[in-house]
Amino acid sequence: MHIPDGFLTAQVYLPAAGLSAAGLAWGLKRTEKLDEKRIPLLGAMGAFIFAAQMVNFPVAPGVSGHLLGGALAALSLGPAAAGVIMTAVLLIQAFFMHDGGITALGANVLNMAILAPWVAYFTYQAVTRVLPGRFGNTIGIFFASWLSVLLAALAAALELGWSGMFALNVILTTMALWHILIGIGEGILTTLALNYLVQLKPADIAGEAKE
Amino acid sequence: MKHKKKILLLASFLVVLFLAPFASSWPDGLERVAEDLGFADAAREFALPALLPDYTVPGLPWEKLGTVIAGIVGVALVYGFLQLLAKFLWRADGVARGR
């Protein structure tokens, strides 16, 4: 859901860029502490998310999706670090691959680097509070990932609608429709990656750990 | 954590090498919506040229090789950029700087 140049008006992309900058700074300030042992993982996590984003999988005839990674980063390294990681991925994609616009970068950061990680983080916490144990952990990861994609897509839809690309309610509905499906892929891939690749428990994200 | 880092980096290269060249070429959710609602043509290329436009190497006739090269360059760039950034944003004990 990388928004290209030309889809957003300045009245939308400028405030989005401002919000993104403020959001990243606030996230870094708010986060108590990133477990020092996890700092070396930042680069590797960004590298993996960049790679995984290249792999589009079909979700319906004529539509594909790919891992977004905001939930994966947030649930392994915390939402503030995830913001930094996702922003790095989006920067390289925009400037070197023209995947996502330069003027739209602020909006893309807002949707995918700030909103998606925080949605995943809070959703995971809420689900595991209701459902403790291994089952709750898996359901929490899956649902948090799914919702992070859906809400990021709806944010993109709002920005497109406010830019006058089409009637807002139609953009919202169609974006929601495809991303409800794409989010299932996000849920499966994030669950697998957290359990078998990163092997980190979301519950012990440093500084925000809860027992 | 050292081995987790190695596993993630190894996985990144395996994904670029063996999965990225065979990715679905169907439009993603947003591209599909833009096509269906008829505003896909509003997309503009920024004046600044990209080094690896759409994950291809311009002028290289082997498209899948281009994808792999673009992927490896991208992985290296993201990794290097974040390694540098991590040094500035977090102190060695994990506390965010500038608090």
* Model ipTM value: 0.94
Residue B88 has pLDDT above 90, yes or no: no
pLDDT, residue B86, reads: 85
- Measured CA to CA, the distance from residue A164 to residue A9 in angstroms comes to 8
Split chain A (211 residues) into runs of 10 and give each run's mean pLDDT: 97 98 86 72 96 98 98 94 96 96 97 97 94 91 98 98 97 98 98 87 52 30
A100 close contact with B: CB closer than 8 A: no
Surface-to-core class of residue B42, CB atoms within 10 Å of its CB (0-12 exposed, 13-18 middle, 19+ buried): middle
Count how many domains chain A has: 1
Report if residue A99 sits inside a domain: yes
Looking at residue A39, the DSSP 8-state letter turns out to be T
Q: Write out the residue range of the structural domain in which residue A184 sits.
A: 10-55+63-204
- Measured CA to CA, the distance from residue A105 to residue A110 in angstroms comes to 8
- Tell me which of B88 and A108 has the higher pLDDT: A108
CATH number for position A45: 1.10.1760.20
Our CA-based measurement puts residue A174 at a distance from the nearest CA of chain B, in whole angstroms, of 6
pLDDT, residue A205, reads: 60
Report if residue A32 sits inside a domain: yes
pLDDT, residue A211, reads: 30
Report if residue A49 sits inside a domain: yes
Give residue-wise pLDDT tens across range A115-127. 999 999 999 999 9
Q: Do B16 and A51 touch (CB under 8 A)?
A: yes
Structure tokens at A189: 């891939």
Q: Chain B neighbours among A 23-42 (CB < 8 Å)?
A: 28-29, 31, 33-42
Please work out, in degrees rounded to the nearest 5, the angle formed at the alpha carbon of residue B26 by the alpha carbons of A82 and B17.
60
User: Does residue A105 come out as left (phi exceeding 0), alpha (psi in the -120 to 50 range) or beta?
Assistant: alpha
Is residue A3 a contact partner of residue A160, using CB atoms and an 8 Å limit? Answer: yes
Structure tokens at A155: 């944010």
